[in-house]
Structure 1
């Protein structure tokens, strides 16, 4: 048995377990950057982490002369820096791992000079990291007091909400936050929730009490009808591939935007018109005014491209320049030339428009765009806001400062179209105190 544990190959194989522990630390580092941690059982978590760390320390001390263990001993403490800063105060989680990292760094098989240099660098990382973190927290994060007064989950379980009252110097506020309920990382001891996914669906100043939240399930078609009834100009932004699948060509979506007043007047628009103008809506004479031609098959082209535009495309003057074939540089050059030399005012910008009107889409097309057949809709009922009692006039009746309201504040439909909750993306959070 002694010869087995003294064998160098046994140590090399067992040293791979130190990689597993190091990966666990890096996983925790990743979670601290992108997730908030909510611990359920602090004592159990502390015991579990302590047990795993002790076992890992024994293994790493046994294999401390192996190159794999040496490398791991150099990585544990740097990886723990974000955990220490962002989960500050969760000592049952932090202390066992930090102690393990310190011990194995000091007792690893690396040379004394290497260990001294690395320990100095890591110490400086912690000092400057902590200094920067606390300075940022002190100067750039507002000191406010929040109180969560209600939480809940939607009928489908896809979303959850919380109502938060905030006390500040401006009489406070009440906000309702909605976030996905399916993106959490859960284990027996803690739940990790993605940062930066909460959206404010209702905000009121001052604090409003007595808000009632009601959820209901509505079909895609019913919500489409509601939105179209609200406005017939609601637009959705889609990709090139989606435009093609919806039946649009490149030329169908070519628009003139940022038109000057003189160009608007030339196509019978008023100076107050701000919407982009589709090339398909212009007559042949109007297109000619902008230097654009149209073939019988609907393709648009530049009638007299400048030498610089031709150079961008490496075209000769006798070759027709179709707009859908122009590269970004050629289109940018063409737009830069549409300027009044005397005043520097831009006449117009030619570009492809990626928006489509909601009222032009069928239910099948909305299904293709990723809108589920049915989902959750949140309606809130808000009681009237009454004035505070007047100590000088105790018999005076309260005055209604704001009327009662009932309104829809969240539709799953809009969340899916606008991609509110992209649970596959990761964004750094600068709300360091969240």
Structure 2
């Protein structure tokens, strides 16, 4: 009998896609989702179409997943709140971080597109650019143009999302690469589908430049464009906000990416979430019109409403997003009246409630100063957050299906009850 040739140690430690999936207890496409998020490395098979994976890496990831499943994944937090394992955003000590990196610093140094890529892949691409397919734009525009003139921004974006989905025959492919492809084309499609604010409709260049022409009739100056781009990057994600949780529930049920984004858009329309910027815009406009913050604030309180644009439950101190955006707004000459009005709102309410300005008030200063409508903040929020929603959907596709299924605490009549007459 001939002696067997020893198997090279490197080959002995590598697993096929099927073997890696079995060890992790997931589908083969989920293995590639781990690769796209930087949790596993892969190597192409020479002369073949498949990939191999380092056995040590796969075993380590399997151990981490088992520990996490036994701990916080889909469990109750220390305060009785639903907690979900995520590696995207951390909010801590009046700061927030994207994949461990200070989010404000990322937004200050990189474009919205580059920050989105960082969320999706964990890799920085300073030259990232998003291009909308002509077919998707055409069908999305037709759908949006069919809506009544009074349709809200989230109505337009939700309809555009659904229309774009119908133009994508690959929408049910939930592999990492496919979802990333959808992400890079859906966001510019949504912007391209929005009606222009004036005569110009810009469909090329950085996303912030394209969005500007949908929000303002004014000629954009460099400082204002920089503020808009930074606002998009600052708002791209904020942990498990209400809309993001809705997206993860949809993704947990394996809804495709367009459907998951549509779920997020539905929740973001609420006045306590994405619609909050509009309330801050209107308050700021009232203060500017009256020349005094006191009557406008009194009117809000008399109507039984909270003062919009102040305080945030996750930041006992100052909202870092507001601080970063206010710094940029101070460089815009025509923003001074709105900045003074915002300062007046904070100082007036501080007599009884020491609340800091939040990002909604900063966004209101941007939209008022740049001649944008009261709905502009809602549009900016929804476009920005779409990237974060897709990052969470991508992460959720790598988890156990239908894990986002809490049990209800029944509080109705004790059964069995007699049949109703």
TM-score where L is the length of structure 1: 0.24
Q: Which has the higher strand share?
A: 1
Larger RCO: 1 or 2 (CA < 8 Å, sep 6+): 2
TM-score where L is the length of structure 2: 0.24
Q: Which has the higher helix share?
A: 2
